[in-house]
Amino acid sequence: MPAPPRPGTYNYGACIGGGQECSEALRVTVTEALPGAPDLILDAVSVDIATVDPGASFALTAVVRNVGDAAAPATTVRYFRSDNATISTGDAAVGADEIGGLAPGADREVAVTLTAPEEGGFHYYGACADAVEGEVRTRDNCSDSVAVEVSGGDGGGQDDDHGDSIGDATPLSIPSTTDAELGEEGDSDYFRVEVVEPTALTVETEGGTDTYGTLFDANGISLASDDDGGFSLNFRIERGVDAGTYYVEVRGFSDSTTGPYTLRVSADDGGEEATHCRPGGTVEPEGSCAIYGTSHTFDVDAGGEGCLNAGFSLCSGGSVSYRSASLTFVAERLDDDSWEVEDVDPAPPD
């Protein structure tokens, strides 16, 4: 049947016998994206040098993709420098490139040579594509950030309890609980964790300070960020990760935020099979699996309802099927209320 014409959440079911016997409701969320429209996203942002001297040159690359189902006309990609891990068009512009049109499903790599600022410390770079005619969804037109450390910074001062950059990050074990403090306006704390096998990594804060957290990979590329996903004003990030080095930045929600907090780091003990969604794998009630290379998850509650959380929520009591240019997920509920994953893309490597 066709989807409803307006975005929203709808319940579907079937009845027999004049409405005397009815099925469970299937909840379907209709997003705002309209058929026949281009949809530009930027991803795969990276730099060739993560630590540079003041005034030195480095190269930034990113990939522009049209994940819509209509051609995108020519547009402009603009590059920005930010003082935090979130890239927006309100940040400091540092360059621009004109690119030609993109067919549905097509992508194009863009690159720019940038000059590091004289101010030492940690800076964030990314790119945004100007919206094109007919584009409905524009909130994902900016990339994630990539961190560049400019040598010569003061590292946050002698009295700072934890380093203000990846190079000065405090090493933590998994699991661990660490007391820390944002001691002055604009302070940020960095921590390093070593993951020895694929797992579901969780980092979160506790306390009364309004924190904002970002998870980076070994190259300083932002993987996920959160504001108030934890209790009260605390952040909470859950992410399926492979073995490797990861960094956590903790800062205040605003530059004026100061105060103590507790950072907790934990990992799913279920191992790789319980972490990543795989074809043929199962998810038990009150369990979840992470879609490889993304922040998306499939979660099953205690009653057996399954929800695909991928920037939107698609929930059902019986089956979930979603396919787009960048994500495929199909799962079916079994008799014991667990769910079997039938198809997923991207899938983790064997």
Domain residue ranges in the chain: 1-30+276-350, 40-150, 166-267
Q: Does this chain's domain 40-150 share its CATH topology with 166-267?
A: no
Indicate whether this model's pTM tops 0.85: no
Class of domain 166-267: mainly beta
Cα–chain center distance at 109: 21
Tokens of 111: 């690159």
Instruction: State yes or no: pLDDT of 163 exceeds 80.
Output: yes
Residue % of the chain over a pLDDT of 70: 88
Q: Given this model, what pLDDT does residue 33 score?
A: 52
159 exposed, middle or buried (CB, 10 Å; 0-12, 13-18, 19+)?
exposed
Could you tell me which residue, 131 or 291, shows the higher pLDDT?
131
Would you place residue 36 in the very low, low, confident or very high pLDDT band (cuts 50, 70, 90)?
confident
CA distance 286 to 98: 48
pLDDT at 154 over 70: no
Asked if residue 210 has pLDDT above 60, the reply is: yes
Q: Which CATH class is domain 40-150?
A: mainly beta
Query: What is the Cα 68 distance to its own chain's centre?
Result: 20
Share of the chain above pLDDT 90, in %: 34
CB under 8 Å to 304, separation ≥6 — which residues? 285, 317, 333, 337, 338, 339
Instruction: Give 37-91 pLDDT, tens digit per residue.
Output: 899 998 888 988 888 888 899 999 999 999 888 999 999 999 999 887 788 888 9
The arithmetic mean of pLDDT across residues 330-348, rounded, is 91
The CA–CA distances, whole Å, from 83 to 18, 86, 122, 145, 210 equal 62, 8, 8, 10, 18
SS (H, E, C) 173-234: CCCEEEEEEECCCCCEEEEEEEECCCEEEEEEEECCCCEEEEEECCCCEEEEEECCCCCCCC
Report which secondary-structure segment, H or E, holds 273. helix 271-275
Is the pLDDT score of 156 beyond 50? no
| H or E, element range at 271 | helix 271-275
**Burial of residue 89, with CB atoms counted within 10 A of its CB: 0-12 exposed, 13-18 middle, 19 or more buried:** exposed
- The residues with which 169 forms a beta bridge, in sequence order, are none
**pLDDT the model gives residue 147:** 85
pLDDT surpassing 50 at residue 26: yes
Arithmetic mean of pLDDT, 19-25:
66
Give the residue carrying structure tokens 């950072």: 263
